[in-house]
Amino acid sequence: MTTAKSWKIGREIGEAVVKASSNPNRRWYGPHMAASVRAISERIPLVDFVLEIRDARTPLSSEYELLRKFSPFSSKRIVVLNKMELADPLELKKWMAYFQGRNFLSYAVNSHNKECVKNFLNFLQSQVRELHKSGHSGHTTTMMLLGVPNVGKSALANSLHQIGRISAAEKGKLKHTTVSSQPGDTKDIMSLKIGSHPNVYVLDTPGVFPPKLLDAEICSKLALTGAIPDDIIGETELARFCLTLLNSSHEYKKWAKLCKSQDVIGSLSNESSTSSAQRKRQYPTDHTQDFIVYDVRRVLYETISVFNGNLEDDISMGELVETQFAALRTVLRVTEEASQFADLRVASKILNLYRTGRLGHYTLEHASC
């Protein structure tokens, strides 16, 4: 694996997370997490498949370390790169080749895209058929979803359950496991049926970390993608880190033509999942609307393009980020009356746009096959 330049702000964020994980007063690894680890550990040897859900933007940093304690043959393991829609497509292909080259069965999925989930379900069913051909005699196949917090396990479990029941033409009330953008909201192991003849169930599990996190570089990436609670670092620092990475990438260059286009809002509207009736309304305080996202991109492109400093230097990069924060107040409709909390409000909105893919597709780790 190769990594990008190590920025000072990234190192500071990573070190702060490492420190927090060692602080007994933060209850990083409380009784509920210890209980979850015990329950998961007891079930791993009993299930037929382990689906290790990772974030496609951090394919190595989001590894589920608990699995290292188990034999790779105790149950069939599949590495699932979720949130593929947020990752750089070229890097995603390299990561798939990386895992294939190391004899890992892997699959990339977008848990919010029905067709993508349906294809993934077909893939899982093919794995179940192979299992039965090899002599599996049970009438029920179980798959356990494992992963660190906020990699999308619950969202994927719900999508598989919904599409699996529709495909099997089953009746009855749909079950739902808790889905949240906040890490750690899943507290219990929940079983959801995703197939019939034979019966196939997925077990959604709480996201857990080791008792202590020791690698600052890994921690900075987990913090940026939302796997670690934002209040440990603070949204403002995370947004500064986010803009630092955006400024040092080539993603913003794609916005040059958009900034010159008179019909840019129409082209951006294809990215939105809202209905045409909703798009006709404009709410200046809603930063997710296409016309505001366009303005945010335009400001970021323009501030980077006219910047004369050294983008390889931490101090110069920090100056550019502060300039961007000031410029973004206007386009994000952060009023002067709220100046005391202006940076926090700007940070919250930018972080949301970054994490939902509205500011481009990023992979924070680069595969070396």
Residues 267-295: pLDDT tens digits?
Answer: 444 444 444 444 456 676 788 899 999 99
pLDDT of 261 higher than 90: no
* pLDDT band, residue 338 (cuts 50/70/90): low
336: Cβ–Cβ under 8 A, 6 or more apart, which residues?
A: none
- Return the minimum-mean-pLDDT range out of 191-200, 243-252, 255-264, 339-348: 255-264
C-alpha distances in Å from residue 88, one per residue of 57, 59, 258, 340, 346: 8, 12, 19, 36, 25
| pLDDT value of position 197 | 80
- Gap between the Cα atoms of 160 and 111, Å rounded: 8
The lowest-confidence range among 193-197, 302-306, 312-316, 323-327 is 193-197
126 Cβ contact partners less than 8 Å away, ≥ 6 residues apart: none
266 falls in which pLDDT band (50, 70, 90)? very low
Neighbours of 337 (CB within 10 A): 7
Question: What percent of the chain is helix, strand and coil (3-state, nearest 5)?
Answer: 50, 10, 40
How many whole angstroms separate alpha carbon 362 and alpha carbon 355?
9
Distance, CA of 223 to CA of 183 (rounded, Å): 10
Kindly indicate whether the domain formed by 29-204 is annotated with CATH number 1.10.579.10: no
Q: Which of 129-138, 188-197, 307-316 has the highest mean pLDDT?
A: 307-316
Range 325-351 average pLDDT:
87
pLDDT value of position 75:
66
Q: At what angle do helices 290-305 and 235-247 cross, to 10 degrees?
A: 60
| 100 pLDDT higher than 90 | yes
**Every domain of the chain and the residues it spans:** 29-204, 216-257+287-356
Average pLDDT over the chain reads 85
Q: Are 16 and 225 in contact (CB under 8 A)?
A: no
Among candidate residues 91, 127, 126, the one with its CA nearest the CA of residue 108: 91
Q: Is the pLDDT of residue 264 over 50?
A: no
**Whole-model pTM?**
0.87
The whole-number average pLDDT for the span 359-363 is 95
Q: Confidence band (pLDDT; 50, 70, 90) for 33?
A: confident
Alpha carbons 116 and 121: distance in angstroms, whole number: 9
User: pLDDT tens across 132-182, in order?
Assistant: 888 776 778 999 999 999 999 999 999 999 998 765 555 455 455 554 445
Q: For residues 250-269, give the mean pLDDT.
A: 65
Say how many C-beta atoms besides its own lie within 10 A of residue 268's C-beta.
18
Task: For residue 306, count other CB atoms closer than 10 A to its CB.
Answer: 9
- Give percent of the chain with pLDDT exceeding 90: 63
